[in-house]
Every structure is written in structure tokens, then in C-alpha cells.
Structure 1
Amino acid sequence: MFDLSACHVERLGDREYRISWRQFDPPRQVAIYMSDDPDRFYGNQQPGTPLLRTSASEARIANPDARVRHYFYLETDRGDGAILAERRLSLQGSPNFRDLGGYLTQDGRKLKWGKLFRSGKLSTLTEQDMHYVRRLGLTLVCDFRQLVEQELDPTVLGAGSPHRLASLPVTPGSRNNFMENLLQRGVVAVDDAAGLMQ
């Protein structure tokens, strides 16, 4: 079984990825698959044809299109698998834009890759960044910054972005303001919000 804390995907410029994982003992053959759709690797779908097979603990994979987000499925010759992607997306205007996929939930499951992201402000994205983010398929952007920050540096994802923007300012140290905004705007269920705050 893969130790997800030791699995990493790193983009090396625009042309290559380095994928690494903890070496198995004894070594096992690992097949690596790639897709621009993370859902391809969930469920019972066949992952397709592997890009390569290796017994090492690292592989370099050519990046066929730097404008597209890629996801990887690693599978051992015993059938153990792991879905991976870059944790931090390569955006010039928002260097802390991260995918929360792969993290364990309280009930032992894992968050799906490509579904939930966190970032700093989204007011300084380049045109290339905006194109890249729009391709992620975001449907909701929650802005937790203070209203004055939102007004000074508004979120800009460019024309054609289908997302909704929810302004949910959080006063430092205050749970009440956050909960009131969630309840008034109906962004998430009360139970989900309460669980989020625990």
C-alpha cells in the first residue's frame, strides 16, 4: 500500500513532472497512468494504458500540455493504487493555490483530487493563470477576506468563468460572523458548517 505522506508530484518547468513515492520492500513494479480528468481514476473504470512501469521509487513523465492540470494513478503489481496530483498549482499570480485532494477525512476516506482548493487572493492572476483556473471547473469561490480587502482586491477569474462568488468575511477570532454568513447565504448545510468549524 502506498504511504500517501511520502507520495509527491512536482512540476519541473513546463515540460516534465517528477513523481516520487516511498520504495516498497521488497521492490514492486509500479504502473503510472495520467489523465486531465481525476474522475477517470475513481470508481471501477479502467485507468487505460500506463505511461510506464518501474521498480524505482521515482519517475519523470513528460508534460504534454502545460496549460492543463494532470492527475496520476499509480498502481503496484499487487493492485494497490494511489491517485496523485500537484499539491500546489503552478500559478504566477497566486503562488499558494493548493488542491486539498488526497487528505484523509475523519471517517477514513480521502478527499477527491480536483474538487476542493484553497488559495490566497485571486486578484493578481495572469491571463494564463485565469485560463488554467477556469479549466479546473470551479463552481463556487468562497472569499473569507474582510470586506475592505475584497473591495480593494476583487476576485478576478476572467470572462467565461462559470463560478459563483460567495463573500463570507471572517472577522479574526470570530466564529459568529462566519456562521451568520453561511446561514444567510445558504452556501452549505448547518451540520456541514458546524463540522467544518470543529
Structure 2
Amino acid sequence: MALKGVNFRLAKPPIVPTDWVGPIIILFMLLTSGIVFYALTLWRPRQSKAFPFGAGDATLSGPVALERVLEQIGFFLEQHSATLASQESQAKNLSEQKSYVEAAKMAVQRAVNHTRHYIAGRRAGDRDRRIERELSDEWLEVGERLRKINGFEAQELHMICFLKARFWSDTDGWNDSYAGGRDISIESVLKYVGSITTKN
């Protein structure tokens, strides 16, 4: 009666990562096999001091055989750990690339909006050297963000942004030959952004 009203709660079992389920089962089987294998060597007929292990004429005593089994288990765990580390590294790089793309996408859109706004003002006859310098700096910053993104499209857009920065640094002295055949229009910029977003 002393335990009446006491609420017993079972502890939740630990959650095992999915990637480890297979290796844990294999490790359990290897350990079990190794123990059974070692036990059988202890119960072998007394006249035999060694038993064959593997192919060829090499023979191993019980303790040596167990050591060999444990070495194989250690080798398996080491290889699997290396594989998991590689997968984690790839996942981290993919996550970083996605964050770089999102940040660059926002920076490009902001620069495009500022550029369009200023061009509309220039058509109305308003020119401001200070704003042109700010646009040049903004396109340089966008280009730096794109440098972190892998892929041909990102690197091409990176170069286009630097060319646009050069254009806005001195619009009167700009020559189309400086672009080296590249289309540095806003439409071209947005096309590359769409391609980069699709691939990442």
C-alpha cells in the first residue's frame, strides 16, 4: 500500500541514429562470432595446439585468433567511421552552399532594384555621382558573395558583377570592349541567378 499512488515511468530508450543500426548489428554479429570462435578453440582436442585460420598453411592459436578477429572488427569500425565523417562533411558543404546561394540571391536582387531605380531617375535627367559610386561598391560586394559558390554559372556571374562595378565607377569612360563579350545587363544577371538557384 505504501506504493499506492506512485507513478512509475519507464525511461525512454536511447534513440540510435539510422546510419548506425546496420553497423551495430554487424558489430554484434562479429563480436558474437569471435567469442564463439574463441570458445571453440578452448574446447578443441588437447592434442591439437593450433588450428587453421584462413587460407594457406598458416595456423593461429586461440588467443592470437581472437586478437585477429578484434583487429578485423577495429578495421571495420575505422572504415565505417571514415565513411560517416565523409558523408557528414558533404552534407555540411551542401548546407553551406545553400546558405551562400540564398545570401547572394538577396544581395543581387537588392543591387538590381537599386540599379533600376537609379536608371529610371537618370532617364528623367537626374544624375548623382555619389549614388553611382554606391552602386559600384554594391556590385563589388555581390561579386564577393558569389565567389564562395561553386559552379560555372556562379563564377560567370561573379565576373559580371565586377564588370558592373567597373561600369558604375566611371560610366562616361566605359567601353563595351571591357566586358570581353559578356552580357552585363540586368536581364543577364537575373538569368544567371535563376540558373544558380535551380542547381542549388
Query: Common fold, TM-score beyond 0.5?
Result: no
**Greater fraction helix:** 2
**Greater fraction strand:** 1
Structure having the higher Rg: 2
**TM-score (normalizing by structure 1):** 0.19
